[in-house]
Amino acid sequence: MDQANQHFELLVIGGGSGGYVAAIRAAQLGKKVLLVEKSELGGVCLNCGCVPSKALISAAHRHEDMHNPGIPGLTARDIEIDFSQIQQWKQKEVVDRLKSGIHSLMKKNKITVIKGEATFISDREVQVSNKQESYHVHFENCIVAVGSRPIELKPFPFGGRILSSTEALSLTEIPKRIIIIGGGYIGIELGQMFAKFGTEITVLEGASTILPGFEKDITRIVSKNLSSLGATVYTDAMAQSVELTENEVTVTFTVNNEERQATADYVLVTVGRRPNTDGELGLDKIGVKLGERGLVEVNESGQTSLPHIYAIGDIIPGPALAHKASYEGKIVAEAIAGLPSIFDYKVIPSVVFSDPEIASVGLSELEAKEQGVDVLTGKFPLAANARALSLTSAEGFVKLVGDNKTGLVLGGQIVGTNASDLIPEIALAIELGSTLEDIVLTIHAHPTLGEMTAEAAEVALGHPIHI
């Protein structure tokens, strides 16, 4: 086709978790859609974030289980690691397979995909450029879904032995030592992954605890596991500078105003992400209003200050989560198609693939109390669950937060094995307006990890059976 002067009902800029989902939903609703992606379909999450990190974390768990099965009578010997083969498996059997699936979905839904970088010329036209060509595209509506990138600290510019999460996930050999600046979910996930493969880990976290934002009874269990892996964790620590040699990095940092140093093969910086609303995109030039930290201001349907231009994902307010972006993509596509769809952020689960896993949804006990709720809580330990014991994974608990007056489920927090797979039931309960009694009266299969949700509800209602 002649791409020099194309017209589309909908232009989607960015093919990540939000963008490609928005394109598919819009195509299902009859729109002629063009998706422009400057790198790879699937975006950061699929190519250098959520998905490859979970693949490597899974491999690290398998390696640890081989060395320490945890069941008397099982002994493993002579276990070898070929990290380059693990990386090939991660890429070919996980990332590439999923990416191929997205390409197939684009064809099935008759979505035009162009690889290139989009720059707004006007509020109805973009220039799309790549190494081969450059051309203009006219559109009726546009969804901007350009995502985010790792925050770079001035004293620690990315390159060489100073890594972002992207480079860390692409290492072909297991480092002997890594210093991690930032003890949030990315730093802890990758830190534990490398530690399980034998890397010596040092974590520098500026807050008073790792994984700030989670309750201390949750983070305490993860901290204990980090210690058992031989990791050194400094909290209230501020990284100051770095010295580089050909084979090492030395980081100078302060803890309680005391200066210290640590040396490693690499330093990994994981202090958050920045929205990709700057650069050549040109949102400001066409009058799209940006707010705090460069985030795009949108209404409940995702519309920007220009009603025919929408924004979703990491570039609008809210947690930078792939599943939030995908949800927003569907809502915005439906709004463009004329359906009465608006954002409803009542339930956004948060998961950390640490060891043990952490999952949270809705209100914590503290948040509910701060809102003046007469709180009812129930906590059930994995140590009292048959399935957890049979998996030799008895650390952690399931906690439910409810309203004492109405019995409504308001939130839930889980720390323990497979927490990521257990949180959806609590999310659904909140979304549907279910009560603690509804959960108790739902028959849960035995022996499963899932029945702990019902057990926690029984604790909250004052009639626990198994504790």
Residue ranges for the known binding site for FAD are 54, 314
List Cα–Cα distances, 378 to 45, 359, 404, in angstroms. Answer: 34, 16, 11
Is 466 known to be catalytic?
no
**CA separation (Å) from 156 to 35, 83, 251, 267, 301?**
35, 27, 10, 9, 39
Nearest residue to 179 (alpha-carbon basis) of 141, 144, 231? 231
Q: Per the residue annotation, which of 63, 446, 463, 466 is the catalytic one? A: 446
The dihedral over CA atoms of 8, 11, 16, 21, expressed in degrees to the nearest 10, equals: -60
In total, the chain counts a number of residues equal to: 467
For 414, phi then psi, to 5°, come to: -130, 135
- Rounded to whole angstroms, the Cα distance separating 453 from 434 reads 13
Q: Which residues are annotated as a binding site?
A: 54, 182-189, 205, 272, 314
DSSP letter string, 117-154: EEEEEETTEEEEE-SS-EEEEEEEEEEE---EEEPPBT
DSSP 111: -
Q: Distance (Å, rounded) from C-alpha 270 to C-alpha 150?
A: 7
Contact 47, 39 (CB under 8 A): yes
**Residues flagged as binding site for NAD(+):** 182-189, 205, 272
- Could you give the 3-state DSSP secondary structure of residue 165? helix
Residues in Cβ contact with 78 at an 8 Å cutoff, skipping those fewer than 6 apart: none
* Amino acid of residue 73: G
The catalytic residue positions are: 446
